[in-house]
Structure 1
Amino acid sequence: MAEPFPLEPSLWFATAPAAAPTPPLAQDVSADVCVVGAGFAGLSTALHLAEAGVSVVVLESHEPGWGGSGRNGGQVIPGIKYDPSEILSKFGPVAGEALIGFVGSTADLVFDLIAKHEMDVPHRRAGWIQGAHTPAMVETVKRRAAEWQARGVDAAFLDQDAVGRLLGTDRYLAGWVDRRAGGVQPLAYARGLAKAALGAGAAIHGQSKVVSLTRSGSTWRVRTAQGATVTAPRVVVATNGYTGDLIPKLRQTVIRPNSFIVATQPLSDNVAGTILPEGQVTSDTRQLLLYFRKDHQNRLLMGGRGPFREPRDAADWAHLERVVGKMYPQAKGVPFDFRWCGRVALTRDFLPHLHEPEPGLLVDIGCMGRGVGLQSAMGKAMAGYIATGDKGRLPFPVVPITPLPLHALNELYVSAIIAWYRLTDGGMKDKAA
């Protein structure tokens, strides 16, 4: 029998272990917490709540990992957009230091969870390289590496020869490597989180789209499209790039472009050995970055931002296929087996946003393209706050829901930038002969 809401065909869907059963919610239930959304954030929240002895029910429109969590590039990168000095400037010395510690540990959490729960997740922790594509960005990555090095992180600046050797391409002027990072099969990891949460006592229900949230006194009623409800004093909403209109104005607080990925057939050993030979994952310093890696089968993946519109067509992936040939001529002509995409959620300040619009309702939104580590850690932090009532467990301040001014025009502006990048293959000019 076909799935009612099948995952979009992708490399991850083709190579992930089978999902644990998460049947639709069939009857009214009660719990201490109801989590809406079974991506990294929602599943991590449920896992850590259940481990703390809190009863939790997770409701998911499709199946765990169906959204961006099961479609991303699988890069586990610690940190956020801002360097330590910028975080201190934004948040002050006390909150800033705490936040630096939090964002610096997000990759540790992912790999620790995989090991602790013996998840069936192909993974490798060889580091992340950020390539500098302009002279100005050379200085940026040099400063970034120095700041993290000064905090004891295993990081290093890479000159042009070093970055070329580690990436296997001469397209970058310099870079830096953060050896805390790595790569995972992201859908396998999402399914591993679901299995661990179920094992800890959480209930997870797929094909259970939430259509309304209503509060009566200190109790919330969370109703699904089938009419079944969860009654709970606390609700967590973690729907990120697939946020709809469940909470007024929330969708207008983020821009939700698609992130497109192509994956080749497995590379021959002689070609694979010349591309990212030490197994790092990588992304660059472009405004609309390119990100790429090899997977556990030696396929080369290339990703980048794409248009908002539906349906999609072959042109949405064609520029990435051209980029592969330009960046790695040795892989030119290797067939592409998979093409897929998923939404990311970008906030105006490039920080995750936590909202508490009503008592007992906690909202987390904004993955910023680093959702594997960041949202896993956000789930643990939200669980800590809910279990203890200590707001200090939250790494970011709780802020009001504030829609982006002229939200529709913001999306048009981003679409125009994306269209230009598609035409220029991500701003990658052909090298002179």
Structure 2
Amino acid sequence: MAKPFPLDPSLWAATAVPAPETPPLEASGRADVVVIGAGYCGLSTALHLAERGIRATVLEAQEVGFGASGRNGGQVIPGLKFDPDDLVAKFGQERGERLAHFAGSTADTVFGLIEKHGLDVPHRRNGWIQGAHTQAGVDEVGRRAEQWARLGAPARALDKAETDRLLGTDRYLGGWLDGRGGAVQPLSYARGLARAAQAAGAAIHGCTPVTGLNRGRDGWRVTTAQGAEIVAERVILCTNGYTDALWPDLAQSIIAANSFQVATAPLSDNLRRSILPEGHVSSDTRKLLLYFRLDHTGRLLLGGRGPFREPRGSEDWAHLERIVGKLFPQLGKIGFDYRWCGRVAITRDFLPHLHEPEPGLLIDIGCQGRGVGLQSTMGRAIAEYVATGNADALPVAPSPVARLPLHALHRIYVSAVIAWYRLNDGGVR
């Protein structure tokens, strides 16, 4: 029997609700749909399929939320890297507007699921602030706020004084506020989705690595490391930054970048009133963005890029600890209780990708750092597509799996770009 690889000693692993029972798959059987990966997309897909009466079996190599779904910053941010007008210019009026509507609804999906299913998830929805660290960034966020407000979002630009007050730092020149955003305890949210899916009738098996996918006359045969097999009409593959060699070239179609995070000791009441005093979450306009928030235990969490390799020691988080002190000097010599990281799946065009390389196999990949809302909503769309066959249910059209040229060199290249951005991004590096 496969044993789970333990989660990092993260803030989320320390404060999450208990994991649901997800025993390894030990006996072969059949399902309508096999979902590979128990992150947000896989769990949301299984939940929405089960609610439609479709038998879904989720197979997870480790445990629910083991990947980025249990390791991210817990920020629920609607939208994509591209603004609404950019999406229309890129895809045309109809497709662009449809994708913008999908992207704008992703935070609603998360908080709607928490409410509908009564999920035991610490959460708060006071909005997201994107701080601008240059004048060009101020112009950029002003346009962004105007475009989303035009579509009915509770969005507005912030001048420097209001940005300083709402963030608790004077390091930004301005920003914008999107009232749709918020925060969740991300591992508790993943575990809550799993419980909701199980209650609806989905089966979830942890510690069950999938080792083979083969299509035959009786459907897809999904082979696991234990030797047990599931035969199903359809397979949904959604492993994102932890994608392996299960499907040819898929792992080479993305860059799986590490996002490193630190969490302080709990702040005093006075310090909590001086940092993000109204409970917003925040990230900024840097190429190597920083993101920060207070969690439900009163700790300040800050995240950003780190080395591609897995961490070797606390020194791999030292740059983030220095940034905390520069952004928020009022913290003094506060200690750090948690350090952890997780892999984010980044596509070449910074958009989510869907692939349908063979009939009955649908692949979702590319969270772009906004996976909490994006992948929860993608799972609902995938379930509708599977149930109805309506391709318009999908926010993006399936495309061929495209291996990045010279993928083996991308880590070297991106590492060099990261070093360059650190020198030229300005501000608190």
Deviation at 1:421, TM superposition (A): 5.6
Deviation at 1:7, TM superposition (A): 1.4
- Say whether the 8 Å CA contact 2:218–2:231 is kept in structure 1: no
Deviation at 1:215, TM superposition (A): 0.8
Code of the aligned partner of 1:198: Q
- Aligned residue for 1:98? 98
Question: Per the alignment, do residues 136 and 425 of structure 1 end up closer, same or farther by CA in structure 2, a change over 3 Å counting?
Answer: closer
- Aligned residue for 2:131? 131
Which string of whole-angstrom CA distances, capped at 9 and with x for unpartnered residues, describes residues 256-298 of structure 1?
1100000001100001100000010000001110000000111
Matched residue SS, 1:256: strand
Which string of whole-angstrom CA distances, capped at 9 and with x for unpartnered residues, describes residues 147-200 of structure 1?
111111101100111111100000000100000000000000000000000000
- Aligned residue for 1:428? 427
Which string of whole-angstrom CA distances, capped at 9 and with x for unpartnered residues, describes residues 316-364 of structure 1?
2000000000000011311100000000000000000000011100000
Q: Output aligned runs, 1:352-367, within 5 Å.
A: 352-367=352-367
- Aligned residue for 1:328? 328
So what's the TM-score if we normalise by structure 2? 0.98
- Aligned residue for 1:18? 18
- Aligned residue for 1:223? 223
When the two structures are aligned, how many residues end up with a matched partner? 428
Q: 1: CA distance between counterparts of 2:184 and 2:128?
A: 12
- Say whether the 8 Å CA contact 1:322–1:425 is kept in structure 2: no
Q: 2: CA distance between counterparts of 1:391 and 1:309?
A: 38
- Say whether the 8 Å CA contact 1:354–1:398 is kept in structure 2: yes
- Say whether the 8 Å CA contact 1:259–1:306 is kept in structure 2: yes
Code of the aligned partner of 1:367: C
- Aligned residue for 1:208? 208
Q: Output aligned runs, 1:55-204, within 5 Å.
A: 55-204=55-204
1:261 and 2:291 are equivalent in the alignment: no
**Identity of paired residues, percent?**
64
**Which segment is superposed worse, 7-16 or 199-208?**
7-16
Matched residue SS, 1:107: helix
Code of the aligned partner of 2:30: S
Matched residue SS, 1:273: helix
Give unpaired runs (5+ residues) of structure 1: none
Give unpaired runs (5+ residues) of structure 2: none
Code of the aligned partner of 1:405: P
Which string of whole-angstrom CA distances, capped at 9 and with x for unpartnered residues, describes residues 4-62 of structure 1?
32211100000001011000001001000000000000000000000000001000000
Q: 2: CA distance between counterparts of 1:265 and 1:298?
A: 8
So what's the TM-score if we normalise by structure 1? 0.97
- Say whether the 8 Å CA contact 1:320–1:425 is kept in structure 2: no
- Say whether the 8 Å CA contact 2:327–2:428 is kept in structure 1: no
Deviation at 1:409, TM superposition (A): 2.0
Question: Per the alignment, do residues 87 and 134 of structure 1 end up closer, same or farther by CA in structure 2, a change over 3 Å counting?
Answer: same
Alignment root-mean-square deviation, CA: 1.4
Which string of whole-angstrom CA distances, capped at 9 and with x for unpartnered residues, describes residues 210-229 of structure 1?
01101113500111111111
Q: 1: CA distance between counterparts of 2:347 and 2:137?
A: 23
Question: Per the alignment, do residues 143 and 292 of structure 1 end up closer, same or farther by CA in structure 2, a change over 3 Å counting?
Answer: same
Q: 1: CA distance between counterparts of 2:421 and 2:265?
A: 25
Code of the aligned partner of 1:358: E
Deviation at 1:307, TM superposition (A): 1.4
Deviation at 1:314, TM superposition (A): 1.9
Q: 2: CA distance between counterparts of 1:303 and 1:161?
A: 24
- Aligned residue for 2:280? 280
Matched residue SS, 1:257: strand
Code of the aligned partner of 1:161: A
